[in-house]
Every structure is written in C-alpha cells, then in structure tokens.
Chain A
Amino acid sequence: MIKAILIFNNHGKPRLSKFYEHYTEDTEQQIIRETFHLVSKRDENVCNFLEGGLLIGGSDNKLIYRHYATLYFVFCVDSSESELGILDLIQVFVETLDKCFENVCELDLIFHMDKVHNILAEMVMGGMVLETNMSEIITQAEAQSKMEKSEICAFLSLCRPLSFSVPDRTGRRRPGLLELQHAPYRPSRT
C-alpha cells in the first residue's frame, strides 16, 4: 500500500499532497514538514529510501523519493510495495506529467494542482497502484480533459474555463523537471 504521496519543492512548499489515510490538516502539514526535513538534507547521490516515516504508521513504512530539478516526489509506502518498483512509478508519474504538460516544470504543478491530481488518480487509487502503463494513463487523462472541455464549451461559454486557461508562462523558461533529471533509473522496465 502507498500511504501518502507528497510533492514539495526545494523549500518545502507543498505542491501536491495525497494521503490515503485520514489525518487532520495539522497533522498533514506536520508530516509534510517532517518529510521535507528528512528528505531535503540528503545528498543527491545517496539512496532514495528512508526509513522511519515516524508520523505515518510505524516501522513497516518507508519513504521513497526522487528529486527532480526543483521538486521532491515522495511516496510513503509499506513493505508490500517493491522499492524499486515505486522508484519506477515515480519516474512514470513524472514522465506522464511531462507529456501532459509538455515539458513540465514546477509552475505547471503550482497552477494545476487539480490536473495533477487527476493524472495521479489514473495511476494510484486508494493507495494501490492502478496503472503503470504511461500511454494508457495519458489516454484516459486526455479523454477526460476532452470531455471537460466539451462540457465547458457547450454550457459555460459565458465564463472563463475553469482549469484550462494556460497560466501566464512568463516564468516558463525554467528548465523542465525532466531536463535536470539524472540518468533515468528504471530497473523494472523490460
């Protein structure tokens, strides 16, 4: 089981938090802070596993994270998940985001948290891995976006579309997340 998925930036600002168990908002923030604390002080070239996610459920749990450019992607998982598999999943997640946002960067996540959630929902559901095939994830995510678009055009031409306005991309010249990524590490691909 995946207990939580957190994305935060180099300063610990949350960009996405998905908890698959209920915590109060305060606890959630505390978990994010502590996780950031644990993860951020690690060097780039050390292993991506951390034991003792004390706040989330005990010794069975591990933090598995990856650092992409300005963002940390952290998965808190228990022992039923394969460590390398999860690392792979994070990579799939980021690559999917990259496809969906075209050269994804932190700004995309900042302004489109809902969209990121929707993409994530196609990969992980209720803490279990739902789909790992990137093209399938993208197909489903895009089909839903299309539906959304058509609904909005048909019924709400009055208003500005909800989440599809492209935010001003002035800060867009930052490198995408994947550009700075160390050589992809994907042991479970065959």
Chain B
Amino acid sequence: MALKIVKGSIDRMFDKNLQDLVRGIRNHKEDEAKYISTCIDEIKQELKQDNIAVKANAVCKLTYLQMLGYDVSWAAFNIVEVMSSSKFTYKRIGYLAASQCFHEGTDVIMLTTNQIRKDLSSPNQYDTGVALTGLSCFVTPDLARDLANDIMTLMSHTKPYIRKKAVLIMYKVFLKYPESLRPAFPRLKEKLEDPDPGVQSAAVNVICELARRNPKNYLSLAPLFFKLMTSSTNNWVLIKIIKLFGALTPLEPRLGKKLIEPLTNLIHSTSAMSLLYECVNTVIAVLISLSSGMPNHSASIQLCVQKLRILIEDSDQNLKYLGLLAMSKILKTHPKSVQSHKDLILQCLDDKDESIRLRALDLLYGMVSKKNLMEIVKKLMLHVDKAEGTTYRDELLTKIIDICSQSNYQYITNFEWYISILVELTRLEGTRHGHLIASQMLDVAIRVKAIRAFAVAQMATLLDNAHLLTGNTQRNGICEVLYAAAWICGEFAEHLEDPMLTLEAMLRPKVATLPGHIQAVYVQNAAKLFATVLQKHEGETDSQAAQETSQLLIDRLPLFVQSANLEVQERASCILQLVKYIQKLQQKNVEVAEEVTALFAGELNPVAPKAQKKVPIPEGLDLDAWINEPPSESESEDEKPKAVFAKEEPKHSRSRHTEVDEKELARRREARKQEQANNPFYIKASPSSQKVYDAPGVEHIPVVQIDLSVPLKVPGMPMSDQYVKLEEERRQKEKADKKKKEKKKKREKRGKGRKGDSGPESEEDITPAHHVDIVTEEMPENALPSDDDDKDPNDPHKALDIDLDKPLADSEKLPVRTHRPEVLKSPAEDRDDNTIPQETKKKSSKDKKEKKKDKEKDRKRSKEDKKKKKKHKDVEEELPESLPEEVVQSEETKEVAVPPTSADVVTVSSSAAAATVDSSSAAAAESEPEELKDTEPDDTKSSKHKKKKQKKEKEEKEKKKKKRHHHHHHHHSDAGAEDSVQNGTVEDEEPLPPMSNYSLLAENSYIKMVCDIQGNHQDESKVVVSVIFENKSDSFLKSMEFNVLDSLNSKLQRPDGAGPHDGLTVPFQLPPGVSNEARFVFSVQSIVMPQKLKGTLTFIVKTDESSTHEKLDFKLHFTCTSYLITTPCYSDAYAKLLESGDLKGSSLRLEGVNMPFHHLLARICFHHHFSVVERIDSCASMYSRSIQGHHVCLLVKSSDQTVSIDAKCDEPSLLGNVLDEIKQTFSKC
C-alpha cells in the first residue's frame, strides 16, 4: 500500500528531471522567471517526499537554478539529506549541490561532519573522492578541525586517486585550521616523493601555494625541489617548482646561483613554451636577487632578453603578451638591456590588442631617459589622438603623466614643454583624469619656480578660453583643470601680463555653472587678482581704474553669494564685504593696495602629504599629556581637535589654509607657540615653530618630503566628463601665444641657457638643456627628519596570509605550546626536532633567534636529539601517534568526539596499514597489535621515552585510561577476539569514543568481519548490512560465501532464482592484508523488536601449496536503532508532531553520565541515528524516524551527571527498545 503511494509519487514527480527543467526554461523564454518559480514550487513539493531519488532529482535541479542566480540556500537541509544517501549517485548530487551553495555561514554544515567522516572512510574510493571534492569547496574551520586527522590518514591511502585528493585538500584545511599545518607537514613532504606522479604533483601544488605566501619557511625544502626539478619530466610539476624557486630565490641568493645552470639548460632544451616562459621568469628573479656581479650574469640576461624578444615577435598574441610581461620584470634591474629593444616595444603600441598595448605602455614607463622622454611622449600623444575608447585613452593619459612625473620629474629637462603637454591633454574629450592633470599643473607650478611665468600665461589663456566653452556641460572631468588654472593665476598673479583681463575672465557669469569647489577657488583667487590689480593701479596712481575694478567685483560677486555651495557662498560674501569696505576707503582716496596685498602675502611651499608625521617631537613635549586637566566629561573636548584632524588630513587645497595660517601666525606667533603643536591647521607652521627649538634661524622653512612619486593630489572633487573641446582656432592661437611668450621670455628673462630650445617648437623641443632644478629648491626644506618606513601601514594582507603565517612562524620560533594545551608538549617537540635539523643547516641565523627565545626548550631538545639519533625509527612511530592527540585535544572542546585511541590507531595505521587498508576501521584493526607494542612499554618503563615524563602530570589521567584500554584489548586478543577499536572500545571504554558504528561481527585467524547496519532510505522494509572483510592471514582468500539463516521476520535478499538457503557470493577476493566491503540487503517485516540472525561465512584459503575450506560463524544483531534513519527535522514541524498527540511517551534516566553534554548528544546522534532539532543549554530535543516512518522524539536533559530522556513515539515497543539501547550505550561508558 505504502509502496504504491511511493511509486505513484515517483511517477508524478519524475515528470521533470534536470533535462526537462532545462528544456522547459528554454521553451519559456518569454516568462522565464515565472516558469522557474513554478518549478521551484514543484521542487519544494518533491523535497517533501520521502523518496530519496525524488529528493536527489530535486536537488539536482536546484543546482542548475543556483547557477542561474537563484538562491537555493533554503534547501540546504535537503542537500544534506541527499549527501547522506548511501547511493553514490545521490551522494554525488548532494555533494555537488553542497559544493555550489554551502559556505561558512551555512548552519547545517555542522550536521555534516559525521556523514563526511563516514564517506571519507568509505571502502568505495569514489564515495571518498566525492566527499573530498565537496569538502574542498565548503570546508569550514570546524570541519577542518574535526576532519583534519581523517584527511591526513587518507594521504597515505593505498589508492593514488584518494591520495592526490587528500593531499590537495590539505591546503584548504591548513587555511581554515592553521594549527594542522605543522602536524601534517612531514607527511605532506613525504608525498613530494610519492611514486604516483599525480600525488606528487598535488603535493608540489600545495607546497607551492603555501610557500608563495611565506617563502622563507620553505627554504629548507629547496634541495628536495632541486632534485625534483632535475629529475621530473612532468611539465606541470616543473612549472610549479620553477615558479616556487622564483619565490624562494630572493631570500637565498646562493640558491639562485645554483639554479642558473639547470634553468638555462631547460631554456635551451625544452620545446614547451609554457615551461620556457616560466624558466625565463625565474632566471629573471634570480638575476634580480643577484643584482651584484656574477660571472656570466650578462650572458643570462642576454639569453632571457633574446628569448623574450622571440616571444614578443611571435605572431601568437599570448606569447607576445607574456613576453612583454616578463620584459617589464627585467626592466627594473637591467633597464639597459631592455632599452635596446625600444623599437619592438614602440611597435607593440600599435598592436590591435589592448592588453598588449597596455603592457607595452608599462614597459615604456621604465625605459624613459632624459634623452628619449620627449620622443616617447610625442609618440604617445599621437596615440592619444588616435585612440578609440576612453578607457585606453585615459590609460595613455595617466601613463604619460606617470612617465613624466616619475622620480621627481627626473627625466624632464624642459618644463615649458611639460606644461604645454599638460595643456594639450586638457583637450581630451571626456577624460576622467582632469584632476590628475590639474594636480600636475599645480605641482609643477609650485615646485618649479622658474616655470611660473610661463605656467601663469598658459593658465590665463586656459581660463580665458575655458570660460567660452563651459556653458553647455555640467559634468566634465576636465574642468578640474580650471581649478588649477585659477589657483595658479591667482597665487602667482605677479607674473600675469594683464591681471585685469584674467580677473574679468574669472568673474564671468558662466563660472557659476562650474562645480562648487572650483567656483570657490575662483572666488578666492579673484580676490588675489584684485589685490594685484589694485597695486598695479595705485602704482600708476590710476585711482579711477582701481575703483572700476572694485566696482567690477561688487557687481559680479553677488552671483556667487547666492551660490548653493556653502564654501563659495561664504567666501564670496566675505570678499564682497571686504571689497565694499575697500571701495569706501578708495572713495576717500586712501591707499589700500598694500594692505589688501598683505592679505595674501607670504611664500608658498609644497608640503608633502606625510610632512606632518615627519615633524620630530621636540624634547620635553609630551603629546599625551593634558594641556589642561580634563573636565569630568573630557570627551567632548577631546573630540573637537580630533574632528579638526580628520577634516584636515584629506588635504584641502593646501594653499588656502597655509595662507590664512601665515597671516595669523605673523601676528600671533609668539603668543601661540604652545597651541600650535596641537593645532593641525598649522601644517606648515608647526614644523617651523618646533624647529625653533633646535635651529631658531630657519623658522619659516616648512617640511617637505621629496618623495614625490605620489603626485600632489587634489581630492574630493566630483568627477564629470565631457568638456567642450577647444576649437582648432584656439589651438593655433594658443600655440602662437606660446611661441610669442617663449620668445619673449627668452629675450627678456635670464638667458637661462636654453640653447637648443627654439621657441616655435616648444612641444617638439628635444634639447635637454633647459634645467630647472627642483631638487635644490626643495632640499633645504627637507632638512627635517628624513623618511623611513612610510609604506608599512598600508599593506592589506589577505586574511589567508595571516592564517598561514601563524603556524609557520611557530615552526620557526617554537613557541608552539601556546595553541596546543600543555598536555601536548612532547608531540610538538617531536615535530620540531624533525624539522629543525634541516633548517639549522640552511639558516643558522634564524636558529640563533630561536635559541635565544627558548633556551630551556633547547636543552630538552638536545637531550632528545641524542636519543633521536639512537633510535630514529622511534621518532617516526611516535610522530604519527602523537599528532592525533592534538587533534583530539582540540576536539575535546567541541561537539564531535574522537578519542585518543581511535586517533592513535588511525594514524599509526598509516605506516602499518599502508599496506592496503581501505577503511579506517580495518586500518584500526590492523594496527592494533602495533599500538600495543608501542604503548605498553610506555606504561611499564616510561623512562624509555623521556618526553613522556615531561607531560606526565597531564597525561597521568589519560594513561590510566589507556592502561585500562590496553588491558581490555589484551584481554580480547587473548580471547582471540581482538576488538576493532571502533566498535569494541567505542561504546564501552573511553570517554570520547570514536564515532564509528562498525562493530565486530566475527573473527578468526584468517578473516575478520566488522559490520554496520543501516536502514535503507528508499525502502521501508529493507536494511542494509555493510560488512568489511579483512584478510588477516598471509594467504589468499577466495570464493567467500555469505549466508544467513532467515527468520520469519528478517530475510536476506537473494537474487531471483536462488533458493531460500543459498548463500550469497561475496563479489571479491582478498589478497593478504587487504580488506574490502560488501553490502547485503535484508528485508524486515516488523521493526519494533531487535533480533539476531545466525550466519556463516565460508571461504577458501589458498596458499602456494594448498587450498583449504574454512568457515566462520557469526551472529547478526539487528538493533532497533539500526532501523532508525537520521532525519533532520525543523523545530516547527517537531512542535506540530508533539502537539498532534499521536505519540506515546516513555522516559529513561541515566545516572553517573560523566561527559560533556554535547558529547552526549553527539553520541546519541551518531550511534542511534538521531538529529538535534534544537538545543538550549543542557537540554536538547532530538528526532529520528524509522524506516517504516515511525517518529521518535527525544527530550534530553542533563544535570549533574544525571541525564533524563523523555521520549515519544507512535510505536511504544520500538521506543522501549530504542531507549534500552541508548541506555546500554551509556552504561558502557
């Protein structure tokens, strides 16, 4: 009946699989969103079905929808369900969906830990593979911590397929759980020499990723990599290694010397371009690191450049691109060798491919010299004209400015040329870089005194013409230039030929359409011009003209007083009042010019952005001391100066502030010296005032930092585009102007030695004779503290970097114990010993540091070192053994419990069971004897392992437990029934059991069987028994036949046609030491009672000489628990279920349960297939469902070692049995 319903629903639901969905979407192009939303509704229905196949199908469709941008996180729970299907098909669908949409914030991820662990240890390599792949995408710190050990075990798996995945995923684990790096590293290193090339490649991959972030920690691996490089033939591996060397050489020049030869050989021999390219790259890195002499140094450079030229000349654009990229690296240290290929690079500027042009531009930046600057810029200007698309043109523009302004205008010999270039650039339509041009204009005009006259003339023209052209565009980036122009004209007005004309130009009504900050500068500088004009007129005693000027301002300024921009308004009204006042004075024939000029008196000097920081704190000044004792509410007071700082630092146009300062200072300097130190407005004055302390004579010298690679910025300006271009006419006129002025200047002003500069061609000016020395100009001002480490504060390291740093720093300095609880001293030391000897050879300097830091530890270590030498093997055995303990330590604090024992066993198995073992349980079993050997001596004669002493205190407890544990084992093995740790001990001994449900089924000297019984998700009457067979003998086991005596209630599913008593053939044979898993399906009628089935395994033991029939009897125990299926349940559904009243209650009390609550829950979840619905403090509700749909609800409360469980279920006898089983589980603790 129920089956029918399921079938019916399958028919209905399977109407739409992924293909149908895709097809549907394609057929609904018009109303795709609507169609998809109905599909999502269907999917929601499907997800409510019990049938896992339906769910998997739904999840598969969701994965597709996720790609289309639909959020499917709501189905996370269902994805987990599908992931936990026992069928590979569905499992894979589940993991794929999880890998696409799970992330650290997904809360259901924490439910997956055990499932993933189970999959990782699955005997089916593809289950493991799929789990690893999925995990690599959504691993969280918690998962990483909980699973690190399992994954580490997999690194020694027999199958290379698993090994390589496990190795690769370790990188992700390291990132999320940095503490695992050190424990796992020895094994990772081991994998560098794995026989399987895939595994090797994976290990190289991981180490390269790690080393890239922290190269110095991996220097010790250099010899190993060197060996690999000379022996490997796998280009992928070679490329990685060679790239890694590129990162290592800067740290170890000696390595570089060794590398040159093999790399050169590779360059000559390889036919693979990718390898060749990486070799060249690394050789370049080596040469850079060796910057000083090496015999065949230049030969290698020559070789590289040659090869790169071949790449660049190749018709393949990719090679061309990479060639240019590598070339730019050489450029930094060996510019000469690159410069000889200038032709080739200029040629690339014409390439149709933008990426290549950009690369070529980068190169040009480094190739510039005084000689060729103008030529190169001229070429670039041509490209600017030709360029299509603003992006590339803007890129050109910034490059031109970068090239010219680099290292303090080092290569510019003629600043008039540069100014005209800048002016020419203003003609660019729609550029975003108006502010860049503006800041260059300001910078040059301020720094290069000799150029001011020329600059002012150019700017005046610009202002004059700009006015004609601004009208129709509101947003134009280029108008930023006017900001600079206005300021330059105002500030250096004494150089203006006709200040009145410029003044008029600046007060035109059209100016009001400019952005506010520019208007503000206009207004302020109009005032400056006004002062200049006044002075001029008064000098000529032309009071009429002077008054006309005042009138002009009074007429025009009201326009700005009405401005919406506050600053414009404020400045305008202030100046308006001033002018009105002046006008009054003028009418009384008072001479005012001098006083007005005094408003703007004072020399301006550039101030480096970091100047303030550079000011030394004078002796005796404590900046943290209160100047006035703080009032009770000091904050408000405190806040104010801070706000001022904040406002100030983002650099307003410096000029304005400085100017005001100058003036005020002139009046009140003496009185205010103390305050100045704290007032940030005194950018310029404060250094000088402080300077007074040591050199009273140089009061006025401001601080200037010469580092100008960062050009003066004018920030906070809104960006706009589109500026009406200057017409052709204007261009000619401008040129003519320029010519005239240049000639004039040449004639009038100092001859200045511009020998070859023929005025008419200022742009094409090639002769570098014009010498404007900015350095000497600013040097004296730089007298104050020099720069030290400006770049440090702004290095944005990725979170990833930091993560990795931690453990590695540890490995260097050995303060390991901090993140590992005290208990773990010895393991840590162990490892250090292992890694350090190599390092000491390599970098003794570092070791010295270490030694200083932990002398004590060193002593211990040296003792141990001796021991080490004696018994090398011991170390290796201890090592893996000790690692897991750490993992356990950290796990102890967390929800999922893995006891030291299991961990021990699992890792030891890496060496012991490297042989074959497929599943960890089998591994565990195998390594058992070894563990006994290993630990027993510890108990009896602990002196053997000195380290044990050190951690004795902490370990005492543990040891006791261990002892018990071992006895237990001993006992068992005596009895010939050596328990697998997972089962035997799991449930009865250790406080933190390994979470495995595999229990021993039977065992004899040939074979061991462990099994796990699980309900079948798809079928309400089926139970799947997974049995792991392990061959313990030295012989070959074959023809295994598994048979069970059926009961009325439970029957083994046999193939059609087989008799009810026929055995099932196990579908594999077992070579010695190998284990494998087989699954058997049983049909069950009633599930309310536990039951036992007797069975027999028959098999043939085949040795070289003979073969014998053997058999092994066993008893299969179907607990009620095994009929339960972990089924997640939402709390609202859970509440409804309880309210429904269909459930009958029962309860259970457990006394003396001595374990953390979350361990308790974890146990119930794991061993009894429950899931936690909700947990509040020490109270949790849990849910599970039987394969026949019985709901089982638990309410678990814990207080003082007493646990009470209230349970409800619609089948009382099932509930009773489940509770009994739970009780049994905990009674064994």
Q: Give me the interface of A with B, judged by CB distance under 8 Å.
A: 1, 14, 16-18, 20, 22, 24-26, 28-29, 43, 45-51, 80, 82-85, 87-88, 110-111, 113-114, 117-118, 121, 125-133, 136, 140, 143-144, 147-148, 151-152, 155-156, 158-160, 162-163, 165, 167, 185, 187-190
Q: Look across to chain B and name the residue whose beta carbon is closest to the beta carbon of A168.
A: B23
Set of chain A residues within 8 Å of B1018, measured between Cβ atoms? 155
Contact of A156 among B53, B129, B352 (CB under 8 A): B53
How far does the alpha carbon of A49 sit from the alpha carbon of B359 in the complex, in Å? 11
How far does the alpha carbon of A90 sit from the alpha carbon of B499 in the complex, in Å? 66
Report if B1014 contacts A (CB, 8 A).
Answer: no
How far does the alpha carbon of A80 sit from the alpha carbon of B209 in the complex, in Å? 7
Q: Mark each residue of chain B from 102 to 130: 1 if its CB lies under 8 Å from any CB of chain A, else 0.
A: 01100000000000000000001010011
| Contact status B67-A167, CB under 8 Å | no
Set of chain A residues within 8 Å of B100, measured between Cβ atoms? 18
Distance from A72 Cβ to chain B, minimum over Cβ atoms (Å): 15
Contact of A158 among B7, B168, B358 (CB under 8 A): B7
Set of chain A residues within 8 Å of B68, measured between Cβ atoms? 14
| Contact status B17-A160, CB under 8 Å | yes
Contact of B273 among A24, A43, A126, A187 (CB under 8 A): A187
| Contact status A43-B236, CB under 8 Å | no
Set of chain A residues within 8 Å of B206, measured between Cβ atoms? 128
| Contact status A130-B165, CB under 8 Å | yes
| Contact status B136-A114, CB under 8 Å | no
Q: Look across to chain A and name the residue whose beta carbon is closest to the beta carbon of B169.
A: A126
Report if B452 contacts A (CB, 8 A).
Answer: no
Q: Using known A-B contacts A20-B137, A118-B92, determine if residue A47 contacts B318 with beta carbons closer than 8 Å.
A: yes
| Contact status A144-B236, CB under 8 Å | no
Contact of B355 among A49, A82, A185, A189 (CB under 8 A): A49
Contact of A130 among B10, B14, B202 (CB under 8 A): B202
Set of chain A residues within 8 Å of B212, measured between Cβ atoms? 80
Report if B191 contacts A (CB, 8 A).
Answer: no
Contact of A147 among B71, B88, B201, B274 (CB under 8 A): B88
Residues B331-375 near A (CB distance < 8 A): 352-356, 358
Q: Using known A-B contacts A14-B67, A80-B212, A148-B92, determine if residue A125 contacts B165 with beta carbons closer than 8 Å.
A: yes
| Contact status A188-B272, CB under 8 Å | yes
Q: Using known A-B contacts A51-B355, A126-B168, A136-B198, determine if residue A143 contacts B316 with beta carbons closer than 8 Å.
A: no
Distance from A165 Cβ to chain B, minimum over Cβ atoms (Å): 6
Report if B322 contacts A (CB, 8 A).
Answer: yes
Distance from A49 Cβ to chain B, minimum over Cβ atoms (Å): 6
Report if B60 contacts A (CB, 8 A).
Answer: yes
Set of chain A residues within 8 Å of B318, measured between Cβ atoms? 47-49, 83-84, 87, 185
Distance from A41 Cβ to chain B, minimum over Cβ atoms (Å): 10
Report if B1153 contacts A (CB, 8 A).
Answer: no
Distance from A145 Cβ to chain B, minimum over Cβ atoms (Å): 10
Distance from B509 Cβ to chain A, minimum over Cβ atoms (Å): 42
Question: Which one of A20, A110, A111, A121 has the greatest number of beta carbons of chain B within 10 Å?
Answer: A121
Set of chain B residues within 8 Å of A163, measured between Cβ atoms? 17-19, 60
Q: Look across to chain A and name the residue whose beta carbon is closest to the beta carbon of B197.
A: A133
Contact of A25 among B66, B169, B205, B271 (CB under 8 A): B66
Q: Using known A-B contacts A165-B19, A188-B239, determine if residue A125 contacts B355 with beta carbons closer than 8 Å.
A: no
Set of chain A residues within 8 Å of B321, measured between Cβ atoms? 47, 49
Question: Which one of A17, A83, A133, A165 has the greatest number of beta carbons of chain B within 10 Å?
Answer: A83
| Contact status B235-A190, CB under 8 Å | yes
How far does the alpha carbon of A22 sit from the alpha carbon of B14 in the complex, in Å? 32
Q: Look across to chain A and name the residue whose beta carbon is closest to the beta carbon of B247.
A: A80
Contact of B317 among A25, A29, A47, A125 (CB under 8 A): A47
Set of chain A residues within 8 Å of B243, measured between Cβ atoms? 80, 82
| Contact status B126-A114, CB under 8 Å | no
Report if B69 contacts A (CB, 8 A).
Answer: yes
Q: Look across to chain B and name the residue whose beta carbon is closest to the beta carbon of A87.
A: B318
How far does the alpha carbon of A28 sit from the alpha carbon of B72 in the complex, in Å? 13
Q: Using known A-B contacts A110-B22, A148-B92, determine if residue A46 contacts B274 with beta carbons closer than 8 Å.
A: no
Set of chain A residues within 8 Å of B130, measured between Cβ atoms? 121
How far does the alpha carbon of A155 sit from the alpha carbon of B88 in the complex, in Å? 12
Distance from B412 Cβ to chain A, minimum over Cβ atoms (Å): 28
Q: Using known A-B contacts A85-B236, A121-B133, A167-B23, determine if residue A47 contacts B164 with beta carbons closer than 8 Å.
A: no
Report if B522 contacts A (CB, 8 A).
Answer: no
Distance from B30 Cβ to chain A, minimum over Cβ atoms (Å): 16
Distance from A85 Cβ to chain B, minimum over Cβ atoms (Å): 5
Contact of A50 among B202, B316, B355 (CB under 8 A): B355
Report if B70 contacts A (CB, 8 A).
Answer: yes
Q: Using known A-B contacts A111-B22, A165-B19, determine if residue A159 contacts B132 with beta carbons closer than 8 Å.
A: no
How far does the alpha carbon of A87 sit from the alpha carbon of B274 in the complex, in Å? 10
Q: Is the interface of B mostly helix, strand, loop or mixed?
A: helix
Set of chain B residues within 8 Å of A110, measured between Cβ atoms? 22, 26
| Contact status A187-B272, CB under 8 Å | yes
| Contact status A126-B171, CB under 8 Å | yes
| Contact status A160-B274, CB under 8 Å | no
How far does the alpha carbon of A155 sit from the alpha carbon of B7 in the complex, in Å? 13
How extensive is the interface on chain B, given as a class? 35 or more
Report if B405 contacts A (CB, 8 A).
Answer: no
| Contact status B136-A188, CB under 8 Å | no
| Contact status B126-A147, CB under 8 Å | yes
How far does the alpha carbon of A188 sit from the alpha carbon of B60 in the complex, in Å? 36
Q: Mark each residue of chain B from 57 to 78: 1 if its CB lies under 8 Å from any CB of chain A, else 0.
A: 1001001101111110000000
Contact of B274 among A1, A18, A156, A187 (CB under 8 A): A187
How far does the alpha carbon of A16 sit from the alpha carbon of B202 in the complex, in Å? 25
How far does the alpha carbon of A27 sit from the alpha carbon of B274 in the complex, in Å? 33
Distance from A33 Cβ to chain B, minimum over Cβ atoms (Å): 10
| Contact status A148-B67, CB under 8 Å | no
| Contact status B239-A128, CB under 8 Å | no
Set of chain B residues within 8 Å of A111, measured between Cβ atoms? 18-19, 22-23
Question: Which one of A18, A24, A49, A189 has the greatest number of beta carbons of chain B within 10 Å?
Answer: A49
Q: Look across to chain B and name the residue whose beta carbon is closest to the beta carbon of A167.
A: B19
Distance from A22 Cβ to chain B, minimum over Cβ atoms (Å): 4
How far does the alpha carbon of A85 sit from the alpha carbon of B237 in the complex, in Å? 11
Instruction: Report, nearest first, the 5 A-B pairs whose CB atoms are least far apart.
Output: A126-B136, A187-B273, A84-B274, A22-B103, A46-B353
How far does the alpha carbon of A15 sit from the alpha carbon of B148 in the complex, in Å? 34
How far does the alpha carbon of A163 sit from the alpha carbon of B243 in the complex, in Å? 41
Report if B87 contacts A (CB, 8 A).
Answer: yes
How far does the alpha carbon of A29 sit from the alpha carbon of B239 in the complex, in Å? 33
Set of chain A residues within 8 Å of B205, measured between Cβ atoms? 128-129
Report if B1047 contacts A (CB, 8 A).
Answer: no
Question: Which one of B14, B56, B104, B137 has the greatest number of beta carbons of chain A within 10 Å?
Answer: B137
How far does the alpha carbon of A152 sit from the alpha carbon of B7 in the complex, in Å? 15
Distance from A189 Cβ to chain B, minimum over Cβ atoms (Å): 7
Contact of A128 among B70, B126, B168, B355 (CB under 8 A): B168
Distance from B692 Cβ to chain A, minimum over Cβ atoms (Å): 45
Query: Knowing that A82-B240, A82-B243 are A-B contacts, what are 16 other residue pairs whose CB atoms are under 8 Å apart, sorted by A's residue number?
Result: A1-B209, A25-B71, A28-B69, A45-B352, A49-B318, A50-B355, A83-B277, A113-B64, A121-B96, A125-B169, A130-B164, A140-B161, A144-B126, A147-B89, A162-B53, A187-B272
Distance from A171 Cβ to chain B, minimum over Cβ atoms (Å): 10
Q: Using known A-B contacts A125-B169, A189-B272, determine if residue A162 contacts B17 with beta carbons closer than 8 Å.
A: yes
| Contact status B19-A190, CB under 8 Å | no
Question: Which one of A25, A51, A148 has the greatest number of beta carbons of chain B within 10 Å?
Answer: A25
How far does the alpha carbon of A85 sit from the alpha carbon of B137 in the complex, in Å? 23
Distance from B346 Cβ to chain A, minimum over Cβ atoms (Å): 18
| Contact status B10-A159, CB under 8 Å | yes
Contact of B60 among A114, A147, A187 (CB under 8 A): A114
Set of chain B residues within 8 Å of A127, measured between Cβ atoms? 136
Distance from A13 Cβ to chain B, minimum over Cβ atoms (Å): 9
Q: Using known A-B contacts A17-B67, A144-B126, determine if residue A46 contacts B19 with beta carbons closer than 8 Å.
A: no
Report if B278 contacts A (CB, 8 A).
Answer: yes
Report if B1205 contacts A (CB, 8 A).
Answer: no
| Contact status B209-A151, CB under 8 Å | no
Report if B275 contacts A (CB, 8 A).
Answer: yes
Residues B197-256 near A (CB distance < 8 A): 198, 201-202, 205-206, 208-209, 212, 233, 235-236, 239-240, 243
